[in-house]
A and B are shown apart, each in its own frame.
Chain A
Amino acid sequence: MRLLIAILASVTLLITEYRSERLLPVRATLSVLTDSLKYAVDLPASLFEKLSDTLTSYETLKTENNKLRQEQLVNQTQLLKFEALEKENIRLRALMENSFKLGEQVLIAELLSINLAPYEHKMVVNKGTRFGVHQQQPVLDSNGVVGQVFRALPFTSEIMLITDPNHAIPVQVNRNGLLTIAVGSGVANQLNLPYLPNNADIQAGDLLITSGLGGTFPAGYPVAVVDDFPQTSNKSITHITATPKAHLDRNRELLIVWTNNAPIQLSTPAIKTPEPHE
């Protein structure tokens, strides 16, 4: 009798959650309990990190500081040029009466070192709906796209990596603008490119960037580099793969991105252009 009730209840819950998102508040409430477990399991790792932070010697700090300062200088000079280019791009687009989306906000989230299911490519970070994180937000690291927010809970959120077999990301070959979709392979650090025509112009070493189609990922972020593949007359037989730019297995710090969906103002005072339409 009890078994029947339990099974009926579970099946009802399964179907409700499969069909709708009505159970999210329930999950959020219960997750407060389980999230405290996640933080508890993560505690040794984060304590160790703090400890090693406090125990680094003056010398290492000094060399690291110097290195970072040099990097900062290089980045700054590159940014100067970038800013000029961006302005120029906006002006040119204004001439063409094209709308231009720009501006993203980021939040730094830290990975919790816990292991959910080894057969899935998912991670848990320490920022949740309390910080305004919501589903389908893109997640980056300093090198490229990591994945997207799969489920946001009050104190933690689950992130699906781009290598998860159920994940696909619209990409573009940076060299020539060729559009395609990169699908997760289920293997660590590998993406598949199954939807390429036979005569596609793609080479090993090509950089794939997000194309912005689909609306989840903002355009222009590096995703992966195409791997070597044997050159044959018929490329469809060849299995083309790519290696993600982001360090999916090494980084502890990730960036959760808010994209600004409103296009920025195009009319610049220098050139008189008609108001751009959306």
Chain B
Amino acid sequence: MNNQHSVLRIFITLIFAMCLRILPLPESLAVFNPDWVLLVLIYWSLAIPERVGISYAWMFGILTDVLMGRLFGQYAFSYSLVIYMVLIWHRQLRQFPQFQQSVFVFACLLISQLLLFWFENLKAPAQLHGTFWLPVLSGTFCWTLVYHIMRFVRRF
């Protein structure tokens, strides 16, 4: 796999993830829509940590901020932090069985959502519903799926 080819692949998957993020779902499903961009970023930084790192996380974090209409830097902040954690532990994580990886992803998504919760409350003391936390759970369940699809994409 040559260099240019893989960069293109990374970009396409991340852009596709951003599209999934704003998919028009009915209300009952929309509350479960997980943070696809972060899941894909975690996958890439696990698979090729020497190439996809904090700079990618920050860049796509900023783009997600604009896409979702958040304050600048919210997603950039949380994505950079999570990807940093993945980079530190990527050697162990690769050895982990699927279940333990999911637990780690759960922690990652929870940290990201906690930061978002904090930023949202900073902006306006919003009355955030309990459903705010559902994407963390659904994201964890989607991790296995994302992992296999992305591995297929990478080796395609």
Contact = CB atoms under 8 A, between A and B. Distances in A.
Contacts of A117: 68
B7 interface: no
B58 A6 contact: yes
Interface residues of A, number: 41
B24 A10 contact: no
Instruction: Count chain A CB atoms within 10 A of each CB in B53, B73, B81, B126 and give the residue with the most.
Output: B73
Interface in B54-84: 54-55, 57-58, 61-63, 66-69, 71-74, 76-77, 80-81, 84
B96 to A, nearest CB: 23
B119 interface: yes
Given A2-B54, A37-B19, A45-B24, A116 B69 contact: yes
Contacts of A41: 19, 22-24
Interface stretch (A13-21, A87-95, A204-212, A269-277): A13-21
B3 interface: no
Range for the number of chain B residues in contact with chain A: 35 or more
A119 B73 contact: no
Interface string B114-154: 00000100111011110110000000000000000000000
Contacts of B80: 3, 6-7, 10
18 contacts: A2-B53, A3-B80, A6-B54, A7-B80, A9-B58, A10-B76, A12-B73, A13-B73, A17-B73, A23-B72, A37-B15, A45-B24, A114-B23, A117-B68, A158-B69, A165-B127, A186-B127, A188-B27
Interface of B: 15, 18-19, 22-25, 27, 30-31, 33, 53-55, 57-58, 61-63, 66-69, 71-74, 76-77, 80-81, 84, 119, 122-124, 126-129, 131-132
